[in-house]
Structure 1
Amino acid sequence: MHRDQSQLRARSAPEHLPSLLLGLDQMLDEFTRLPMRAEFRFDPDMPAVITVEFLAERGPNLLWRMGRELLHRGLTSMSGCGDVRMWPTLPGERPSSWLLLESQEVEALFQLPTGPLSEWLDATYRITSAEAEMDGLNWDDFLLELLDDPGTPSE
């Protein structure tokens, strides 16, 4: 749950929150960083899920959907246990978190600044509180959207 629930409110009408374009570093190995950008998007109709598009200079962009709560918790503590994990960097370093993405095809570690992401996530919780994020969710549409592969034709 969100750490400051006293100031959260459930949405009364869908609000639009601009996406967050965030500069981050992909760790290619222990010493090599590749600066890149990622766009974080929030949809009030699916508030529990944040869509993150990693914008590659060369090659295709990479699209991941991850839990909003996982991202929020990962700013201050270890979060996640599957394909997506996030945790803060060591104290004394610039305020940032590690984001690890794993699948059969991809394994990528990113370092991202916590300040802008924290502020943006807080804005999502002002639109839809943690307590209200599952209210009115159409589970069939949610699962279809979550599992949809843009390369696979729909029937």
Structure 2
Amino acid sequence: MHPDQSHLPVRSDSEPVPPLCLDLDQMLDEFTRLPIRATFRFDVSLPAVVTVEFPAERGPGLVWCIGRELLHGGLTSMSGSGEVRMWPTLPGGRPASWLLLESAEVEALFEVPTAPLAEWLKATYRVVAAEAEWDGLNWDGFLGDLLGGPGAASA
């Protein structure tokens, strides 16, 4: 096993890419960091999306669905717009990227170590290539859900 892959659990047949538990720093302000562990999950049935769960002290954790391409791009350049953005930190420090999550209820900035996330993303692309992300999508079901579910009027 390559030394950079030591953080990845061994693959199982039921889960082609195991979840990645990653220690991040949440920036509470310019000088205050709060260590937090996030869990990144990849589901082959929806490969364009990575779910990221942030634990809560009380109650259920906060789950964000983030585009796999956005995470991959944010390791090396500005990526995303709107509610989710990611970009590399300035050179000179430890290799990391900033992940900004915004909604009406929350705004959070996290420093994400790039090496383990990059290796994990590579593993997801070995399972489902970027070009094949949308191949298995049930477009009829997706559009039905988008337009109001199974009872929605059709043209």
What is the TM-score when the length of structure 1 is the normalising length?
A: 0.80
- How far off is 1:140 after superposition? 5.3
Seen in structure 2, the aligned counterparts of structure 1 residues 51 and 94 have a Cα distance that, compared at 3 Å, is same
- How far off is 1:16 after superposition? 1.7
The aligned counterpart of 1:136 is 136
Counterpart CA distance in 2 for 1:143 and 1:64 is 22
The aligned counterpart of 1:4 is none
- Aligned sequence identity (%): 73
Contact 1:100–1:108, Cα closer than 8 Å, also in 2: yes
1:16 and 2:24 correspond: no
- How far off is 1:57 after superposition? 3.4
- How far off is 1:69 after superposition? 0.1
RMSD (Å) for aligned C-alpha atoms? 2.2
Counterpart CA distance in 1 for 2:144 and 2:62 is 19
Number of positions where the alignment pairs a residue of Structure 1 with one of Structure 2: 134
Q: Deviations over 1:83-133 (max 9, x none)?
A: 000000000010000000000001000001000000000000000000011
Counterpart CA distance in 2 for 1:122 and 1:143 is 30
Counterpart CA distance in 1 for 2:37 and 2:144 is 27
1:33 and 2:33 correspond: yes
What is the letter of the counterpart of residue 110 of structure 1? F
Counterpart CA distance in 1 for 2:141 and 2:98 is 31
Alignment of 1:44-83 (within 5 A): 44-83=44-83
Counterpart CA distance in 1 for 2:119 and 2:47 is 16
What is the letter of the counterpart of residue 86 of structure 1? M
Structure 2: segments with no counterpart, 5+ residues: 1-12, 147-155
The aligned counterpart of 1:42 is 42
Counterpart CA distance in 2 for 1:32 and 1:140 is 47
Runs of 4+ with >3 A deviation: 57-60, 139-146
Seen in structure 2, the aligned counterparts of structure 1 residues 27 and 44 have a Cα distance that, compared at 3 Å, is same
- How far off is 1:15 after superposition? 5.8
- How far off is 1:14 after superposition? 8.3
Q: Deviations over 1:46-101 (max 9, x none)?
A: 00000000123345411000100000000000000110000000000100000000
What is the TM-score when the length of structure 2 is the normalising length?
A: 0.80
Contact 1:36–1:56, Cα closer than 8 Å, also in 2: no
Seen in structure 2, the aligned counterparts of structure 1 residues 18 and 145 have a Cα distance that, compared at 3 Å, is farther
